Amino acid sequence: MTPLPLEERADLDAEAFDSFNAALDDYFTNLETEVDEGSEETTSKPPFEEEIAKRERIIEQQEGAIGNFEEQAETEREKAELLYERYDLVDEVLSTVREALAAGYGWDDVEERFAEGEEQGIEAAEHVVGVDPENGLVRLRLDDHTIGLDPEAGVERNADALYKEAKRVEEKKEGALAAIEDTREELEQWKARREEWSEEEHEEAKAEEEEEPEEIDWLSRASIPVRKQEQWYDRFRWFRTSDGFLVIGGRNAEQNEEIVEKYMDGYDRFFHAQAHGGPVTVLKTSAPSEPSQDIEVPDSSLEEAAQFAVTYSSVWKDGRGAGDAYMVMPEQVSKTAESGEYLSKGGFTIRGDRTYFENTPVGCAVGITCEPATRVVGGPPSAIEGRVETTVALEPGKFAQGDAAKRVYRLFRERFEDESFVRKVASPDEIQKFMPPGGSRIADD
């Protein structure tokens, strides 16, 4: 492109333009056309290597977790055995702490007393490495282990708690062994799929990739296959947040204790409504068979978990539209009552600062999924909508739980062409499992 004709290029074809901008416009327009005409749509190869590498990483983590579980369980048993081996010394320390607290001394006084005893060469005091006022514990150093002990529990109950913790960790190890087999099976499946892809002709593979997946209108389908997938958390209250985190809650006092003792890990989040009759609510940041990970949880998921805790508490039963909830980390939750207090079954002591979710509105929706499994799901509306084929929103109302469930069931039957499918997967009893306790009504009904 030149502003004037060049004599040395006189033998080449030339085209004149009124302005330099007009020449540029013509050049880039034709350039785009040439690129478009010469290009072909291509399809991306399925992420075989990514998925295979992902599962290999998971297997490595699970193998590491199994080793950690074995080591942790052995450590807890060693601690328990040390308590019995040094029974008199441990009993002396615990008795000293109990007597001091009963006499009105504070934890700082107790710690100072042991420090003085250490200076005087008292053996029991030399093994005390500190106190934990927030959790009501005294820490002893026995051999290579530092052990946090509850003075009110005595030697035997403290040792029993350590044996129980060892057993709980071993149960997690069994879960990890089962999970690693599932992951290995998935790994082999992805490797097999990679081989199948390699054997197909390139043009056939391109055609398959270019086809857009068919969107199925399940509501109008005459026959829907039933595909059930049993999950370990089905017997609890549960839902998945809009960000994919699993949230579980107890249906009674026994389940509340089971969730905290067996399924709550170090980086999970513990929620509870500021009202009586609410379930223990735990947002899981990892599967029970996987190592607990310190990951960031979006505010949207935290708010949905708080709404879940409020909705399934007495707030809904009392017909109120909103309530308060709080969140703490697992280490702040204890079964040890404050001095002079008593904890009922399913109750816990919370120590330290709390994150509050004030005036959280109640909210519950129940829906039916058709892929990948056919089932009823329920929980906060923002978490349920978009994951189901159809949904019914509920609010506190005059109808008993069973009657409201039957009304929801009739709505589902009206919406699905395949009524037999609704009877198989979404009976009133199944719907009722996801409804809050107390009276309900269908929103906008």
Tell me which of 24-38, 319-333, 352-366 is least confident.
Answer: 24-38
Strand partners, 269: 283
> Confidence band (pLDDT; 50, 70, 90) for 377?
very high
pLDDT for position 32: 43
Stated length of the chain: 445
pLDDT for residue 148 is more than 70:
yes
pLDDT in tens, 7-42: 656 666 677 766 555 565 565 455 444 444 444 444
**Summary mean pLDDT of the chain:** 85
Question: What are the residues facing 323 on neighbouring strands?
Answer: 360
Least confident of 225-229, 313-317, 426-430: 225-229
pLDDT, mean of residues 250-278: 91
Neighbours of 52 (CB within 10 A): 18
Window from 20-24, 151-155, 240-244, 344-348 with minimum mean pLDDT = 20-24
pLDDT at 433: 95
- Of the two residues 38 and 185, the one the predictor is more confident about is 185
Q: Is 186 within 8 Å of 55 (Cβ atoms)?
A: yes
pTM of the entire predicted model = 0.55
Say what percent of the chain tops pLDDT 90: 53
Res 440 pLDDT > 60: yes
245 close to 304: Cβ distance less than 8 angstroms: no
